[in-house]
A and B are shown apart, each in its own frame.
Chain A
Amino acid sequence: MRRLYQWILSLAPEDFRERYRHEFMDVHAQRARDRRPGLRGVGFDIREIIGAVGLVLRLHVGGLRVHGKGSREGRTSMMETLVQDVRFAVRSLRRNPGFAATAVLVLALGIGANTAIFSAANAFFFRPLPFAEADRLVSLFESNPEFGWTHENSAPANVFDWEEQVEAFEDVGTYASFTEEITWISDEGDPTIFSLTSVSGDLFDVLGVRPHLGRIFHPDETWAPDDGVVVLSHALWTREFGADPGVIGRTLSFGEETVEIVGVMPRGFTFPTDRTELWKPWGWQKAYLDQVWFRRAHWVFPVARLTPDVTPEEANAQLQVVVQRLSAEYPETNRVMGAGLMPVRDFLTMDVRTPLLLLGGAVGILLLLACVNVANLVLIRGAGRTSEVALRHALGAGRGRVLRLMLTESFVLAGTGGLLGLAGGWAGVRMIQRFSPLGITGLTELTLDARVVLFVVGVSVLSGTLFGVLPALRSSSGGVRARLQARGQSGAGGGRLVNVLVGAEVALALLLVVGAGLLVRSFWILRDVHPGFTTEGTMAVKFEVPEARYENRDQVLAFYDRLIEALEARPGISKAGLVAQLPLNGFNWSSQFQAEGWPPDRVGFEIQHRPADEGYFEVMGIPLRSGRMFGPADRADATRVVLINETLAETYFPGEDPVGQRIAYDRAANENPDDNSWWEIVGVVADQYQESLAEAPKPEVFENGNQNWGRERFVVVRTDGEPLAALPAVRSALMELDPLIPISEVKEMRQVWSDSLSRERFLLMLLSVFGVVALMLSAVGVYGVTAQAARTRTREIGIRMALGAEAGAVVRLMVRQSLSVVGVGLTIGVVGALLGSRALTRFLYGIEPRDPGTITAVVALLGVVAAIASYLPARRATAVDPVSSLRSE
């Protein structure tokens, strides 16, 4: 309560705050101490809040007046008139609850959607970053035209050279481009999975972040031989350790590995994603610096702090010089490797920029639609108030005064809608945050700050003006006579303007519905893409074989053999296999390759690696196309063999049989014929999708898992029933072999597939909601305008019917008139959609932005909805007895 109070007060003009703030809070606090319990206390709180808001508002309004000058009388009367106007508006709206509620709801929808999207944009693009002097921080990235890389992560050895040779870099820190999941075994023996990001020892120094407790890493911990330390996130510290300050110095056990907690980061600091719960230093060895792989493998993201007074452009120029030097010095890895830099905020928000822009455009249209809708309601209501306005004029109210009364009504509506929209939008933000599907780098918590509130106030005022001014001008104009005369005639109440507005509504709705329709079609196409593996009845568990008890390759491989045997003996599990990384799971490893006999300048780029055993292909249902599958003879020391996918076969061995050919990952393999670098292709398997369903499968190599062995594996199993029902069996099989084996990820392949569509699904969901709302709003608009026409034309209808017109003919006449307006709106909307849908290109898969089928379907849908919306009121109007409708005037 006190914080809210303080916040309200912080909005007061500065001179007031300087002079009164302390004593104000003091008096408030003293009175709060006298506060009585129960309802009367709540009453006091509410009065105090209202008083403070009133104070701030009046200080700002009264602030226009130079102190001590001007007549107090004048100000009072202005203020009083305003209060009077507001009271009047509220009274008048309360007499018409249906109208008021509809208008407020429609506005709340529009403003709420905008609030939610703006809050996200605010967090990413406007709020200060939680780093010291963030304008001196730049993100570095590598690019490679041969690989099609633009903003890729970097090779550590390159980063160290940049750090040393670019003078404009004061310091460069790095973080891993992926998070790892590790299993913590609590003192009670319960396993919990944490998300961990490896960072350089100086990363937090570079960012300028201080710990909440304990210390951050030392720069030399990048190189510590044993990575014995971790820093916790505030959230993890609170959740798992009850925010106990004594946690510093405690050790955590991750299976075999034991680490010491040395620090806790401040609340709200999450980096690089909000999934990260703890950080550990790389723990590299200095010897890596001279090894080729350290310059070939790309997996770190660097952040550099520029020296003061250096512009990013100057730093980039220096960087390019170093890049040139490195490409000459290390041609094998850096021949065409470029690098660049950009402000750290731009880099971290790169992925969310376009989706947010798209959503921003959508909610903008929605708000416009809401305003047009309310303007329409106000106009139609204005028509019913003709006599009230005429009477006011007759009683001597000036045009300005009547105008102001009507505008005040609009602002009361907009203000109420804004308040509701703020609340609704806030709930919406929470939802966005929970799904967090945009690949959001959660640098900043989404919070309701002054900027968001200001945005809502601005949007409310804007919409109040948008929908208020036109109808108000219209209703307040015209003499008494003209108004009173207009009553008996048809088409009163600004018929033409109403038609224009309804046309606009239909056009705007069409834009949104076409956008939603395109995304829906695209999503269906994506969903029908076969991922290349069986999603049903398969699950995977990631585990790691610790070095401490399984020292060498043979021990590890023996463990794998025993595991597969144990699993396949369990009921419910028909087959088990091992693979280094799951497809569509966010982590892929790629490199270049050469085939035996190729000229030195012929290289295959960006081939994916996925060490696996034969069980993997059977569990995942990946068929063999030619050659043979791995077999029992492919032991660790036998000839090294690989399977390749069809894309690799077609891309690099067109028209020839790849089976039996040999490949190597070292560019120079053909010059130093060393048998140890060659892998023999023994078979070709069908493609599977690797990074996303929207990206065609890349060339892929499956090395035999015995020969390209590792300690981290996913065990995949084919189950007879529900995949997760097999989890206990997998767990117990692992536990029986070794109770201390850490398990991390547990995934159903169905889930992996579904998660890979989460971003598309999220955009689709939001845009569909907007589309449905737009459809409803336009239907309300068409309904309203027909109903209004029916009402003002009761007399005409009565005469027509008295003269023998059939009800059906009259209904058709009225529906036709409404639909002609709708038709114009649809035409404009289609033109707009053709022009604007290109904005969606990046989000569409397998469908053109101007897809005629979608546009036609949407036009038909809107047409049908409009026809129904105009038929209902027309039907009702003709159901009235002609005699009574003639009497109604």
Chain B
Amino acid sequence: MAPADGYSAPPTPLTFQILLALADGNRHGYGIIKEIEGRSAGSAPSTGALYLALQRMEGDGLIEDAPTPDTSESADSRRRYYGITRNGREVAERESARLADLVLAARNKNLLAGTGP
């Protein structure tokens, strides 16, 4: 069974958020939280929820351990970095396309104010 098959269903919003946060580079746990917070008007998942998701996503092969970047910011060796896998990127792309389709449909039905055709 190919790993991606497990994700034929859309990922949960939190899974997608994490994939999105990792799409442009590796981050550590706190970095992921900050990124999500910035995108969702300050609301972010609890640390527990984040690690539950991270653990599952690692198990499902969506993300992986990434090398710690050699910058001064990451002086703390305990911080682990996460990176997106090829699988993860595929899932994220598929979900993005699905969401884009939905947004398009919403726009066609005048649900997005001021952006109708």
**A residues at B contact (CB < 8 Å):** 16, 19-20, 22-24, 26-28, 30-31, 47-48, 50-56, 58-59, 62, 67-68, 71-73
B60 & A27 in contact (Cβ 8 Å cutoff): no
B residues 47-73 near A (Cβ < 8 Å) are 47-52, 54-56, 59-61
B115 interfacial by beta-carbon distance below 8 Å:
no
B9 interfacial by beta-carbon distance below 8 Å:
yes
A54 & B49 in contact (Cβ 8 Å cutoff): yes
The 3 closest A-B pairs by CB, nearest first: A51-B46, A51-B48, A55-B48
Question: Chain B contacts of A52 at CB under 8 A?
Answer: 46-48
**Seed contacts A19-B55, A71-B6, A73-B9; 11 additional CB < 8 Å A-B pairs:** A23-B78, A26-B30, A27-B28, A27-B29, A30-B30, A31-B47, A50-B48, A52-B46, A55-B48, A58-B52, A68-B3
- A27 with B55, Cβ < 8 A, contacts A68-B3, A72-B7, A72-B9 known: no
Number of interface residues of B (CB under 8 A): 26
A27 in complex: contacting residue of B3, B7, B9, B30, CB < 8 Å: B30
B39 interfacial by beta-carbon distance below 8 Å:
no
- Closest residue to A66 on the B side, CB-wise? B59
Question: Chain A contacts of B30 at CB under 8 A?
Answer: 26-27, 30-31
Question: Chain A contacts of B60 at CB under 8 A?
Answer: 68, 72
Question: Chain B contacts of A30 at CB under 8 A?
Answer: 30
**Sample (12) of A-B pairs whose CB atoms are under 8 Å apart:** A20-B55, A24-B47, A26-B76, A27-B51, A31-B33, A48-B47, A51-B46, A54-B46, A67-B59, A68-B6, A68-B61, A72-B60
B78 & A54 in contact (Cβ 8 Å cutoff): no
Give Cα distance in the complex from A593 to B29, angstroms.
81
Give Cα distance in the complex from A62 to B56, angstroms.
10
- Closest residue to A47 on the B side, CB-wise? B46
Give Cα distance in the complex from A68 to B61, angstroms.
8
Question: Chain A contacts of B47 at CB under 8 A?
Answer: 24, 27-28, 31, 48, 51-52
B residues 1-52 near A (Cβ < 8 Å) are 3, 6-7, 9, 28-30, 33, 45-52
A48 & B46 in contact (Cβ 8 Å cutoff): yes
Question: Chain B contacts of A50 at CB under 8 A?
Answer: 46, 48
B78 & A22 in contact (Cβ 8 Å cutoff): yes
Give Cα distance in the complex from A27 to B52, angstroms.
14
For residue B46, give the distance in angstroms from its CB to the closest CB of chain A. 3
Give Cα distance in the complex from A748 to B56, angstroms.
69
- Return the CB mask of B74-100 against A: 1 if under 8 Å, else 0: 001011100000000000000000000
Question: Chain A contacts of B59 at CB under 8 A?
Answer: 67-68
- Closest residue to B8 on the A side, CB-wise? A73
- Closest residue to A71 on the B side, CB-wise? B6
B52 in complex: contacting residue of A48, A59, A71, A73, CB < 8 Å: A59
A16 & B46 in contact (Cβ 8 Å cutoff): no
Question: Chain B contacts of A53 at CB under 8 A?
Answer: 48
A59 & B55 in contact (Cβ 8 Å cutoff): yes
Question: Chain A contacts of B61 at CB under 8 A?
Answer: 68
Give Cα distance in the complex from A71 to B7, angstroms.
9
Question: Chain B contacts of A22 at CB under 8 A?
Answer: 78
B78 in complex: contacting residue of A26, A51, A58, A62, CB < 8 Å: A26
- Closest residue to A32 on the B side, CB-wise? B47
Question: Chain A contacts of B55 at CB under 8 A?
Answer: 16, 19-20, 59
B49 & A72 in contact (Cβ 8 Å cutoff): no
Give Cα distance in the complex from A24 to B32, angstroms.
13
Give Cα distance in the complex from A23 to B74, angstroms.
13
B79 & A26 in contact (Cβ 8 Å cutoff): yes
Give Cα distance in the complex from A269 to B114, angstroms.
73
B51 in complex: contacting residue of A55, A67, A73, CB < 8 Å: A55
Question: Chain A contacts of B29 at CB under 8 A?
Answer: 23-24, 26-27
